[in-house]
Chains A and B, each alone.
Chain A
Amino acid sequence: MATAAPEAVRIDLGDVQGDILRAYGNAYERTTYVFVGIDEPGRGREWLHGLVDRVTTAAPWADAGKPAHAMNVAFTAAGLRALGVPDRVLRTFSDEFLQGMAERAGLLGDTGDAAPARWERGFGTGEAHVLVTINALGPTELDAALAELRTEVVRHGLQIVSEQPAQLLPQSREHFGFADGFAQPAVEGVTDDKAVGGGVPLPHGTWRALAPGEFILGYPDEDTRVDPKRRLPNAPAAPLGKSGTYMVWRKLHQDVALFRRTVRDAAQRLDRDELLLRAKIVGRWDDGAPLVTHPDTQPDEFDGRAEGANDFLYERADGDGHRCPLGAHIRRSNPRDALGFEGRLSFRHRIIRRGMPYGDPLPPDALADDGADRGLVFVCFNASISRQFEGIQVQWLNDGNIFGLGHDRDYLLGGTNGGSMVIQGRPPDPPCYLAPQGPFVTTRAGEYLFVPGITALAAIADGVTG
């Protein structure tokens, strides 16, 4: 992990789509993900032509403030093919993107009820081509934007394959009841102010933001930021490789009643406080306060976005997992320095998460499933799906070996065979064991996508991709 300061990189924000570097979940109340299928390249490109100028970029909002709705566009590999992008250009995209999420299901642990054969119609089959994400201030603005989109899709003879609405829940909680989305990576030149707790830990307790190329293609990444030869990381052939990124979209159903019953029963069996047990599973209290810094009780007030709220490491403060268990969800998915070597085994496996809950919440005290579909639309952006998203999912969440936890899967996500975990006890207290349960979370749909920069999007619409 090189620490020498490279030249500052300026990101061309006007060429980058807006939902990558800015959390629209904080700015907009409603989101709908619309997957469109394209039968004929010419009609598809004509439709895209009309969209290009309306796609929201990352350029700072003018004095008038944020627009009533934001629109962003991404493509599956089948979608780029359907739009006429030639094979020789497609071959410059990453293997995992070209294969698609369904092909990688065995690796990702999407088996049994989560297998692609059981996914919702249109996913994992090559039918979903273009994802249009609409974020809107409220239902009126959302309906207007959706009506316009639907009309245009029909007018061009295209099909809507799927529409997935999502919306913020009160207090920014996800359905299990945890405040979510605090530990986002700090990006150099964009969110340097979030480096403490969100960037790369350095010796002597300081932090620095991550190189932008970890999340935006065409810019130096953590590998090349100090490369004297100024090589850039692998990216699709020009003009597609500049200002774009890869996107992971997963519809994750959550069995909230099962989670509540399981935690309640375990708390009774282990004679533990239920709130503390929930925190041990996740590594944060319900309000987001980290166990490393708040080990005993949930603080009266916690603002996860306040300065220093995420300023913690594991190795010295909690190497044995007495505060935050070694297998807690946040310690697995973002281990900081928990793997030793000052974080050098983990700093290249960061993702920008932009998930949003879908479905109505289960009433607060309900312990029986009401049959409603609810969960999280998991969205993340990264420059390398295999290194970043899949590295986290496959090596850290679906297996525990790297953490010395055998084959324990993440308890919160579980997967087909269920997760399990040990909650370390502070000697002389023995540890306690949460046996395989679940699955609390089941994948219902998913796609790997490419989010082009604005110039690249125009090139796709013009049919001049190389």
Chain B
Amino acid sequence: MSVATPTSAPTTATGTRGGNVDGQAIAITVFSTVKWWGRVVLPFVFVAPKVAPKTLTTLQRLSFIHFARWSLITQIPHNGAPQPETKLRYPHLYFESNFNGGWEEYIDAFSHILTTGMWTFWGSSYGFPKALPTGPFKAYIKANEMEASHFYSAYPEATTTEIKQAIELDPMVAELRERADRMTPEEFATAFAELMSEAQRCC
């Protein structure tokens, strides 16, 4: 747990183009062309009980990552005339993620911690160089990345880690508040110290 300070948030969303940044958050959008067999394999990968949940659990431990989403695109959504209908010759893997911190640190985390998961998701994409070493992997992601036309964060100074901490802290404060009316000042001082002791573990 940290105590909020009145100072403005520092610059931490680094290493990407301006359109991908709003406050503390970075958006990453990557399209890659998928080989024929990826169309068959990827739908299973997305729901595979052994692979996906493990990646998911690790992703959840990396609390600076808001979410990561992989989808298989087989055709461009058609919104009616005058947009022409476009059928893709090859399926495409669409990756979208939001995170806090620097772009390089984010890709490093994927390379070093989700090494196998990266191969599972991108292994069927043309040109995928493996997640390690990170140099070629970063170059691959950069080459296939698109700058967001519009990226908006409702709480640009907040990070997911802070929000998770706040959600964990909220009921503890509410519980003390509910009891506080019936306490003497001395009892409140003790209870407050206990709350602080307990709340410092929120993370």
Chain B associates with chain A: yes
Interface residues of A (CB under 8 A from B): 1-2, 106-107, 109, 223-224, 227, 231, 233-234, 320, 340-341, 344-345, 348, 386-387, 390-391, 394-395, 398-402, 404-409, 415, 417-418, 420, 422, 424-425, 427-431, 433, 436
B 131-156 to A, binary, CB cutoff 8 A, 1 in contact else 0: 01111100000000000000000000
> Is B120's beta carbon under 8 Å from chain A?
no
B interface, by DSSP: helix, strand, loop or mixed?
Answer: loop
Given contacts A428-B197, A430-B197, contact A399 B9 (CB under 8 A): yes
Q: Are B133 and A430 in contact (CB under 8 A)?
A: no
In this complex, what residue of B is CB-closest to A433? Answer: B3
Which stretch of B32-40, B48-56, B71-79, B157-165 is in the interface? B157-165
> Is B17's beta carbon under 8 Å from chain A?
no
Interface residues of B (CB under 8 A from A): 1-12, 14-15, 24, 61, 63-64, 100-102, 104-105, 108-109, 112-113, 132-136, 157, 159, 161-162, 165, 192-194, 196-198, 200-201, 203
Q: Are B61 and A418 in contact (CB under 8 A)?
A: no
- Given A345-B109, A404-B1, 17 more A-B residue pairs with CB atoms under 8 Å apart are A223-B135, A224-B133, A233-B135, A341-B113, A391-B102, A395-B102, A398-B12, A407-B2, A407-B157, A417-B5, A417-B8, A418-B7, A422-B200, A429-B197, A430-B193, A431-B197, A436-B7
Distance from A457 Cβ to chain B, minimum over Cβ atoms (Å): 27
- Given the complex of chains A and B, what is the CA–CA distance between A430 and B3 in angstroms? 13
A-B contact pairs, 22 of them (CB 8 A): A2-B132, A107-B11, A109-B11, A223-B134, A341-B112, A345-B105, A345-B112, A395-B101, A395-B102, A398-B11, A398-B12, A401-B101, A401-B161, A407-B2, A407-B7, A420-B3, A422-B200, A428-B194, A430-B193, A430-B197, A431-B196, A436-B7
Q: Which of B112, B165, B201 contacts A344 (CB 8 A)?
A: B112
**Set of chain A residues within 8 Å of B161, measured between Cβ atoms:** 401-402, 404
Q: Are A420 and B135 in contact (CB under 8 A)?
A: no
Distance from B9 Cβ to chain A, minimum over Cβ atoms (Å): 5
Given contacts A417-B7, A424-B200, A427-B198, contact A401 B159 (CB under 8 A): yes
- Given the complex of chains A and B, what is the CA–CA distance between A168 and B61 in angstroms? 44
Distance from B118 Cβ to chain A, minimum over Cβ atoms (Å): 14
In this complex, what residue of B is CB-closest to A415? Answer: B10
**Set of chain B residues within 8 Å of A2, measured between Cβ atoms:** 132
- Given the complex of chains A and B, what is the CA–CA distance between A2 and B194 in angstroms? 44
**Set of chain B residues within 8 Å of A398, measured between Cβ atoms:** 10-12
Distance from B176 Cβ to chain A, minimum over Cβ atoms (Å): 13
Most chain B beta-carbon neighbours within 10 Å: one of A386, A399, A401, A418: A401
- Given the complex of chains A and B, what is the CA–CA distance between A430 and B192 in angstroms? 9
In this complex, what residue of A is CB-closest to B139? Answer: A234
Q: Are B133 and A223 in contact (CB under 8 A)?
A: yes
- Given the complex of chains A and B, what is the CA–CA distance between A147 and B7 in angstroms? 48
- Given the complex of chains A and B, what is the CA–CA distance between A102 and B101 in angstroms? 22
**Set of chain B residues within 8 Å of A394, measured between Cβ atoms:** 10-12, 14, 102
**Set of chain A residues within 8 Å of B4, measured between Cβ atoms:** 406-407
